[in-house]
Amino acid sequence: MANATKSELGSVVSLWRYPVKSMMGEELNAVEVTNHGLLGDRAYALRDSSNGKVVSAKNPRKWANLLNFRAAFAEPPRAQEEIPPVRITLPDGGLVISDQSDLNELLTDALGREVTLAAKAPETPSLEEYWPDMEGLDHRETVTDEAMPAGTFFDLGVTHVLTTATIDRLRELYPEGRFEVRRYRPNIVVKPASEEKDFLENAWIAHTLVIGDEVRLNVTGPCPRCVMTTLPQGDLPKDPGILRTAAQHNQVNVGVYAAVIRGGTIRRGDPVRLE
């Protein structure tokens, strides 16, 4: 039960893991959380054979098609064990698995650029990010090289938390847009106990989230969004207004990043509290 130092926020309504960076991922009923985030999240990534950079749909001029690939583990990963192979569904419906000998050739053919699948990140990973010509962004109409946390395939933080209140607020601000969770690629989606439609996560920064009986996360900062949120995927259309709305109303941020203080298992339906 919550005490005087814990405020009930709501509950977990969905959990997402993305085994291969920038590909569509898998929705989970339960998952183990480690110091490196959700077990198996961004365990793999493609690397651009021309320059060694981590492949990301943040540069859609090269890699927009990545969001039409889907990745899922062949078997659930387990802590302290080698990461299992991953199955990748190609845009044409074909299926490949990460331990087959011709994998890189098939992925290269599907993407039209030479790539290799990596399960180990470089010590100093980086990616290319395209910035559209849009007010409120740090750069405009250019491509920059962005450093990533050492030895990982993460952009900034190991865990991304988003509330349904934020999605609902964005829908109010731009009714023409199709705001859905999958545009933002969170790990943990929280439905607040209240019916408030607002950027609730902003108030969590520098606080601790307690999820279920075990997991504790330190909310480290906002999650700045990029052109990737505007790209088509599945039945979602391309829509620059998705990013423009976040820029105009919440400093381009949607959701928050968090570091893991204490790991454990989290499940859909778990209560979420704030300390």
63 with 57: CB under 8 angstroms? Answer: yes
- Tell me: the pLDDT tens digits for 179-233? 999 999 999 999 999 989 999 999 999 999 999 999 999 999 999 999 999 999 9
Res. 143: pLDDT tops 70? yes
Whole-number pLDDT of residue 1: 38
Superfamily name and number for 7-274: PK beta-barrel domain-like (2.40.33.20)
- Tell me: the pLDDT tens digits for 97-119? 999 999 999 999 999 999 999 99
Which of 199, 196, 217 minimizes the C-alpha distance to 273?
A: 217
Whole-number pLDDT of residue 33: 98
pLDDT band at 157 (very low <50, low <70, confident <90, very high): very high
Give how far Cα 162 sits from Cα of 15, 46, 151, 257, Å. 10, 26, 25, 9
Amino acid sitting at position 199 = F
Mention every residue, 6+ apart, whose C-beta is less than 8 A from residue 87: 71, 72, 73, 74, 95, 96, 97, 98
What's the start-to-end Cα distance of the chain, in Å? 13
What's the rounded Cα separation, in Å, for the pair 152 and 150? 6
Does the pTM of the predicted model rise above 0.85? yes
Give how far Cα 45 sits from Cα of 108, 120, 148, 152, Å. 13, 8, 13, 10
**Averaged pLDDT, 223-251:** 96
pLDDT band at 4 (very low <50, low <70, confident <90, very high): very low
Whole-number pLDDT of residue 5: 53
159 with 260: CB under 8 angstroms? Answer: yes
- Tell me: the pLDDT tens digits for 31-48? 999 999 999 999 999 999
**Mean of pLDDT over the chain:** 95
What's the rounded Cα separation, in Å, for the pair 126 and 52? 9
Res. 150: pLDDT tops 80? yes
**Averaged pLDDT, 73-87:** 95
**Averaged pLDDT, 111-136:** 96
Residue 16 corresponds to which tokens in the numbers above?
A: 């997402």
Whole-number pLDDT of residue 7: 83
